[in-house]
């Protein structure tokens, strides 16, 4: 809980975030359970409120438009925000995503179809893409990038 509160303070600087216990299961929890049970569109209507810069929020908004079962490259993501030369900045914004899975940064892969950096680790990224049937069929364990790259 201490780590969560620290991360909330970092993400929502200058804003007061109140946490409270509840006996009811939230819509977000229900959606996460449905997603992990196989309903890959269950997260699509979860409302999110992120901190971050305008640029980061723009990248994160585009991430939410990538449908389950699909992947795009960092270059494609940069092109979708109208900044094809900002591939590295897009990669950094992708990596700073505070709401992984709901804001599906795992759906962004290298231009050469390799798995690249993921805050939760490449094994989790691989699992999420397999769960969504989005892992390119010819992507072998050996083809997985070991270090973050764009």
Q: What pLDDT, in 10s, does the model give residues 75-88?
A: 999 999 999 999 99
Predicted local distance difference test score (pLDDT) of residue 148: 41
Predicted local distance difference test score (pLDDT) of residue 8: 76
Active-site annotation holds for 111: no
Predicted local distance difference test score (pLDDT) of residue 102: 96
For residue 72, list its beta bridge partners. Answer: 108
Greatest C-alpha distance within the chain: 48
Predicted local distance difference test score (pLDDT) of residue 17: 76
Predicted local distance difference test score (pLDDT) of residue 138: 60
- Angle between helical axes of 87-95 and 54-63 (0-180°, round to 10): 80
Predicted local distance difference test score (pLDDT) of residue 133: 94
Catalytic residue among 62, 68, 93, 105: 105
Predicted local distance difference test score (pLDDT) of residue 32: 96
Residue segments in the chain with a per-residue pLDDT below the cut of 50:
140-150
Predicted local distance difference test score (pLDDT) of residue 137: 67
Predicted local distance difference test score (pLDDT) of residue 54: 95
Label residue 73 left, alpha or beta by phi (over 0 means left) and psi (-120 to 50 means alpha).
beta
User: What global pTM score does this model have?
Assistant: 0.81
Percent of the chain with pLDDT over 90: 61
Predicted local distance difference test score (pLDDT) of residue 20: 81
User: What span, in angstroms and rounded, lies between the C-alpha atoms of 52 and 57?
Assistant: 6
């Amino acid at each position: 809980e201490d780590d969560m509160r620290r991360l909330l303070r970092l993400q929502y600087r200058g804003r007061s975030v109140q946490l409270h216990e509840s006996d009811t299961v939230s819509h977000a929890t229900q959606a996460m359970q449905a997603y992990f049970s196989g309903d890959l569109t269950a997260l699509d209507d979860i409302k999110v409120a992120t901190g971050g810069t305008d640029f980061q929020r723009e990248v994160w908004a585009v991430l939410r438009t990538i449908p389950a079962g699909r992947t795009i490259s960092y270059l494609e993501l940069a092109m979708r925000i109208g900044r094809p030369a900002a591939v590295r900045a897009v990669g950094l914004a992708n990596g700073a995503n505070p709401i992984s899975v709901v804001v599906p940064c795992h759906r962004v892969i290298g231009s050469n179809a390799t798995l690249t950096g993921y805050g939760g680790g490449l094994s989790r990224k691989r699992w999420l893409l397999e769960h969504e049937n989005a892992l390119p069929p010819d992507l072998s364990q050996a083809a997985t990038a070991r270090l973050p790259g764009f």
